[in-house]
């Protein structure tokens, strides 16, 4: 999907002089790269930025170069490797304002630490303190705000304003999780848009550079959605209001449903980065969660995952980070359901 960085006017091929539409990446006559000069300039920008330790700017330049390369070319493969390497370097740097407990839980997926986070709600508190600025920034977009109001009106008519507001905010937090991950990887996208009665979405202007990148963007939605569900559950414990209980339960269920490893759902995107063995481990985690939480959705997710394990080979290389996030989310939702309040 183009991000609008390609020139709008025809380009003259430097090899044979043929006038070529800007949408063409190779000359149809001599097969030379149409944007060779721009590619050299962008490669220079990327290398200078990397030499100056501005890794985000280097990654942005390489992403712009990808738009000018045929996806199946050796040059595109090389650029994708550079983007992946820069992502790894950027991920090793500590995120500003990230809580130590939350960072450890995300990195290791420890069930013991998870139980502690769920019980004391430190995850929810850290989430609000560190991500509140981005959440508020999303509400400044007119398209987002107007579509939210329309959805709020639809849900208000059906279930009342308190539940409608909680549900819309839960979906908004989920989508902003995707936005935060997209910003982290330098991928351009629209602000969240709501479709009354159907949910919300973020439209990408660029494709992720790798399945691993796409998986992390996908799983970021349920991860932030977990924070919203925990916040609603904390409000339920503090007030004993059935409205907060309903918001917590519905928000948790919707985010768990998004972990289904099929189609373009968040779980499907996460599965693409896992080997067959890792996928089988996720299926077993779904089964264990069903035994703990006694919710049939976990069993449905396990069956969907098992079918995909049987049908596909999986990724060629394992991704421990994506696996840890996947298992963390499964365990977190299972424990939240097991608590019984929602």
pLDDT tens, residue by residue, 84-112: 788 778 877 654 444 444 444 444 444 45
Domain membership flag for residue 6: no
Give the CA distances from residue 250 to residues 207, 308, 321, in Å, rounded to whole numbers and listed in that order.
30, 26, 27
CA dihedral 97, 101, 104, 106 (to 10 degrees): -80
Residue 166 has what pLDDT?
92
- Give pTM, 2 decimals: 0.74
- Looking at the structure, do residues 87 and 112 belong to the same domain, yes or no? no
At residue 23, does pLDDT exceed 80?
no
E strand or H helix that includes residue 224: helix 211-239
Residue 189 has what pLDDT?
87
Q: Which domain holds residue 34?
A: 11-91
- Looking at the structure, do residues 85 and 106 belong to the same domain, yes or no? no
At residue 130, does pLDDT exceed 60?
no
- Looking at the structure, do residues 55 and 106 belong to the same domain, yes or no? no
d(CA 144, CA 192): 6
- Looking at the structure, do residues 126 and 259 belong to the same domain, yes or no? yes
- Looking at the structure, do residues 47 and 137 belong to the same domain, yes or no? no
- Looking at the structure, do residues 147 and 261 belong to the same domain, yes or no? yes
The residue out of 53, 72, 91 marking a domain boundary is 91
- Looking at the structure, do residues 198 and 214 belong to the same domain, yes or no? yes
For 8, how many CA atoms within 13 A lie in the half-sphere containing its CB? 1
The residue out of 43, 76, 91 marking a domain boundary is 91
The stretch 230-256 carries a mean pLDDT of 92
- Looking at the structure, do residues 177 and 78 belong to the same domain, yes or no? no
Classify strands 19-20 and 11-12 as parallel, antiparallel or unpaired: antiparallel
| Cα Dmax for the chain | 75
- Looking at the structure, do residues 45 and 151 belong to the same domain, yes or no? no
The stretch 289-316 carries a mean pLDDT of 95
Domain membership flag for residue 1: no
């Amino acid at each position: 999907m183009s991000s609008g960085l390609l020139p709008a006017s025809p380009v003259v091929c430097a090899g044979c002089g043929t006038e070529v539409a800007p949408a063409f990446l190779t000359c149809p006559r001599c097969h030379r790269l149409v944007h060779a000069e721009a590619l050299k300039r962008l490669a220079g920008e990327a290398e200078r930025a990397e030499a100056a330790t501005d890794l985000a700017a280097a990654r942005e330049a390489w992403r712009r170069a990808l738009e000018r390369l045929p996806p199946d070319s050796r040059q595109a493969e090389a650029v994708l490797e550079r983007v992946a390497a820069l992502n790894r370097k950027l991920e090793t740097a500590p995120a500003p304002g990230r809580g130590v407990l939350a960072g450890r839980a995300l990195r290791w997926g420890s069930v013991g630490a998870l139980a502690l986070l769920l019980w004391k709600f430190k995850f929810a508190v850290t989430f609000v303190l560190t991500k509140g600025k981005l959440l508020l920034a999303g509400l400044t977009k007119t398209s987002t705000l107007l579509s939210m109001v329309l959805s709020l009106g639809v849900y208000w008519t059906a279930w009342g304003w308190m539940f409608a507001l909680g549900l819309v905010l839960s979906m908004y937090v989920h989508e902003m999780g995707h936005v935060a991950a997209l910003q982290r990887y330098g991928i351009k996208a629209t602000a969240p848009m709501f479709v009354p009665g159907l949910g919300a979405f973020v439209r990408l202007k660029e494709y992720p550079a790798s399945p691993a990148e796409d998986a992390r963007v996908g799983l970021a939605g349920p991860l932030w959605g977990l924070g919203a569900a925990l916040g609603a559950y904390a409000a339920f414990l503090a007030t004993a209001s059935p409205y907060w209980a309903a918001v917590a339960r519905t928000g948790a269920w919707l985010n768990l449903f998004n972990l289904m490893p099929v189609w373009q759902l968040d779980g499907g995107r996460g599965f693409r980065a896992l080997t067959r063995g890792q996928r089988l481990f996720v299926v077993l985690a779904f089964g264990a969660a069903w035994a703990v939480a006694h919710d049939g959705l976990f069993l449905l997710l396990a069956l969907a995952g098992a079918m995909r394990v049987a049908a596909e080979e999986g990724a060629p290389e394992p991704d421990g980070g994506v696996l840890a996030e996947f298992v963390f989310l499964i365990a977190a939702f299972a424990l939240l359901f097991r608590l019984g309040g929602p």
